[in-house]
A and B are shown apart, each in its own frame.
Chain A
Amino acid sequence: MRYLPLTDQDRQDMLAAIGAPNIEALYQDVAADVLLDQPVDLPGFKGELEVDQLISNLAAKNLGSGAAPFFLGAGNYSHHIPAAADHLIQRSEFLTSYTPYQPEVSQGTLQALFEFQTQVAMITGMEVANASLYDGATAAAEAAMMSCRVTRRNKVILSGGLHPHYAEVTATNAKFLSLDVVTNPANPESTEDLAAQIDDETACVIVQNPGFFGQVRDHATLAEACHDKGALLVVVVTEIVSLGAVLSPGEMGADIVAAEGQSLGNALNFGGPHVGLFAVREKYLRQMPGRLAGETEDVEGKRGWVLTLSTREQHIRREKATSNICTNSGLCALAFSIHLTLLGEAGFTRLAQLNHATAIALADKLDAISGVEVINETFFNEFTLRLSKPATAVVEALAARGILAGVPASRLYPDNAELENLLLVAATETVTPTDMDQLVGALEEVL
């Protein structure tokens, strides 16, 4: 067993040093009738080659985004990740270190987190950001709970443009805390009037930009409406690359930003692990969940970093903590930060423009097909089509032709017949003109 360094002789010598006759003696506190006397019924150990072959066979049964024209989004986006980013996160000192509780031997992780927090604050237009949460959906739920703490109110209003998973995770958390969640119906045309729903019990309104169906909007008026009633505005961003081209949530007056950072540095990974971004106005800092790296000095007066404001956290506050969260999504946050550092201001804004231009080109081509209508007036790199047929069957027919065409709205809203023909289509910088032509050609055949 290649991962176990003890030899049988070592084991004998160590048992002798302990004064135990055998290993079972060390399990003396376990009742004899529940202590297993042989291995459980699972296969025995395998060499690296065998394991590689076995898992590679599973991988080969899947159609990956790298092997097909690919147009899926809906909160999880396929972007090019620079080679340096994935190389650097596999440095042993990043990959195999723990949470930086001992700052003197963790300055690398801590400085990287401080830079990450600064980058997140910059692109979201907020004052402070934490060291990351699990993902965008759990970040949205944390934002709802935090809003209730800040305002001492119990009602959360969710836009119909919010990703359904984000709405469901928020609702699940809220249910167990007896918070009142108002979930607006799916809103592909972006016509809802959220301001009218805000009352004196409202802790926050949660909107997404770009919305689940792709529209980009200015939420500044909604922010004012929230603030007039003493409520907070939470803006969710599921495609973080959009912030290279779109007005930031901070500039729109958001109080909390809960976002998914997967698009930078992190592969699709079948939906996880990803990285939740969480940024707030400074005045709400002490109600924020999650880890924080802060600047300080060492005893020689040199600049350094530590985890700080931990009295908000569970290991000190226990049941009174701002959240039960313990870890962050450290390595994914590092990948995000390295990718954004590689891009810089020029690269990030150009990447956003490139995504937008690619999506426009695709939208115009698709809109020209008979039986296809782009319903969006505005979008960034993802938009919604209304097809002449149910979208699920169309997507499956295209998958059979080796094209991964998008996400049918009914995958997430199975009970809403009005959405049956809607298809969400994303086009990132990875989409080539050939990919577009293949999609257009196949769609014309299928419809």
Chain B
Amino acid sequence: MATVKFTEEHEWIALDGDVGTVGISDYAQNQLGDVVYVEVPEAGASFNKGEEAAVVESVKAASEVYAPADGEIVEANKDLEDNPGAVNSDAQGAGWFYKIKLNNVADIDGLMDEDAYKAYVAELD
């Protein structure tokens, strides 16, 4: 079972070895509404923590998806280009955005676990 962590910007990252799968949380997709477009990064691209790695758009809103840690993209979910609705229907599964090979796995230690994230979200409403 991979460790899942969350950022304050509502990204999730599931770590498997040194490769993290990144998407946006169920809470975030709910806030956005129907997702109509996703722009994912190219494999091989490198990002520093906090850099804009992907874009997700609904009818009325657009949001950047930031890299939760330094690393290199190993795979992007190109299926989202044709089926952006997967972000709504399965945000923390089939709606993943990209896989990133972390330079340093310890970078995500400071992120929230699921319980902490739930508490964080509860305070936002």
Contacts and interface: CB of A to CB of B under 8 A. Distances in A.
A151 interface: no
A159 to B, nearest CB: 33
Nearest to B52: A320
Interface in B11-56: 37, 39
A317 B37 contact: no
Interface of A: 286, 310-311, 316-317, 320
B37 A316 contact: no
A286 B62 contact: no
16 contacts: A286-B37, A286-B39, A310-B59, A310-B60, A311-B37, A311-B57, A311-B58, A311-B59, A311-B60, A311-B61, A311-B62, A316-B60, A316-B61, A316-B62, A317-B62, A320-B62
A225 B46 CA distance: 31
Contacts of B62: 311, 316-317, 320
Contacts of B37: 286, 311
Contacts of B59: 310-311
B41 to A, nearest CB: 14
Nearest to B64: A320
A317 B59 CA distance: 12
Contacts of A316: 60-62
Contacts of B61: 311, 316
A437 B39 CA distance: 62
Nearest to A321: B62
Contacts of A310: 59-60
Interface string B83-104: 0000000000000000000000
Interface string B53-75: 00001111110000000000000
B65 to A, nearest CB: 14
Contacts of B39: 286
Nearest to B56: A311
Contacts of A320: 62
Q: Which of A310, A311, A316 has the most CB of B within 10 A?
A: A311
Contacts of B57: 311
Given A310-B60, A311-B60, 4 more contacts: A311-B58, A311-B59, A316-B61, A320-B62
A241 B61 CA distance: 39
B104 to A, nearest CB: 28
A311 B57 CA distance: 7
A228 B58 CA distance: 35
Nearest to B39: A286
B63 to A, nearest CB: 9
A190 to B, nearest CB: 41
Contacts of A311: 37, 57-62
B47 to A, nearest CB: 16
| Closest 8 A/B residue pairs (Cβ) | A311-B62, A311-B57, A316-B62, A317-B62, A316-B61, A316-B60, A311-B61, A311-B37
A406 B26 CA distance: 65
